[in-house]
Amino acid sequence: MALDVVDLRSFYAAPLGRLAHRFLAAVIRHWWPDTTGLAVLGCGFALPYLDLFRQEALRSLAFMPADQGVVHWPPHATQSLTSSALVDPDLLPLPDGSVDRVLLVHLLEVTEIPRDVLDEVWRVLAPSGRLIAVAPNRRGWWASVDTTPFGHGQPFSKGQLHRLLRDSLFSPERFSEILYIPPFERQTTLRMAPLFESFGRRLGLPGAGLLVAEATKQLYRPVMVRKVVRRSLPQLQPALAPLGLRRES
């Protein structure tokens, strides 16, 4: 079940949400340093991160699940000029190969069949397109506490997210794990957040709150080879002839 847009906005307006945005936005911007002339699509609730590209991208779109709710974006746009829309994530209202970058945030974990969403993303991505998928880490604290949006839905392990992308015809290029701090709004915890992040990433510790994966679109579907199983024929036994066909001696 999708999260409510009001709760998502409230989270990112709070200190813990601003901190999560800071660390996740840094990874996204590092991986996509320049989107000039590109079409960027955010699905789920990607508004806080689409702002990174709004001034330079050729086009920025924000698609949100119908059962989540939608807000106008950019913030000061009139209704006729808004770049956000309610959609069915399984049926994106875009032509094939029409976007260059897709950002999935607050979507895969609350989608009943994530593979259907990724199939649609594959369709609308250009041949050289790239995807960033963000999902709660099954081994992290954030997935086990429902006081943040990342504590709802189905979390993933790194292996599960990797297989999901591969099964959906994407080639995973790189992974990152972020949010090593506990998901609690205590001033001491928030002040120590940079230290937690630096220490956790440097040592590659388990328990990060979020998994972030970048993948490229595979242009050709793999050819499935059917395995041929050789079976020996059963040994044939002579059958008795019907009584009417036997010779009388």
CATH number at residue 164: 3.40.50.150
What is the reported pTM?
A: 0.83
Cα(124)–Cα(140) distance, integer angstroms: 32
Residue 244 inside a domain? The answer is no
Residue 239 inside a domain? The answer is no
The contacts of residue 59 (CB under 8 Å, 6+ apart) are: 39, 40, 83, 99
Q: How many CB atoms lie within 10 A of CB 161?
A: 24
Cα(156)–Cα(154) distance, integer angstroms: 7
List the beta strands (DSSP E) in the chain: 39-44, 59-65, 84-87, 99-105, 125-136, 170-178, 210-217
Residue 169 inside a domain? The answer is yes
Tokens 């086009």 — which residue?
59
| pLDDT reported for residue 239 | 47
Residue 210 inside a domain? The answer is yes
Residue 130 inside a domain? The answer is yes
Residue 142 inside a domain? The answer is yes
Pairing assessment for the beta strands 99-105 and 39-44 based on DSSP bridges: parallel
Q: Which domain holds residue 36?
A: 5-223
* pLDDT per residue as tens digits for the range 58-71: 999 999 998 888 88
Number of folded domains in the chain?
A: 1
Question: Which ranges of the chain have pLDDT less than 70?
Answer: 1-2, 76-81, 221-249
127-151: b (≥16 Cβ within 10 Å) or e: eebbbbbbbbbbbbbbbeeeebbbb
Residue 172 inside a domain? The answer is yes
| pLDDT reported for residue 205 | 75
| pLDDT reported for residue 235 | 55
Cα(197)–Cα(23) distance, integer angstroms: 9
| pLDDT reported for residue 219 | 79
Residue 88: HSE in the Cβ half-sphere, 13 Å Cα cutoff: 5
Tokens representing 236?
A: 């044939």
Residue 237 inside a domain? The answer is no
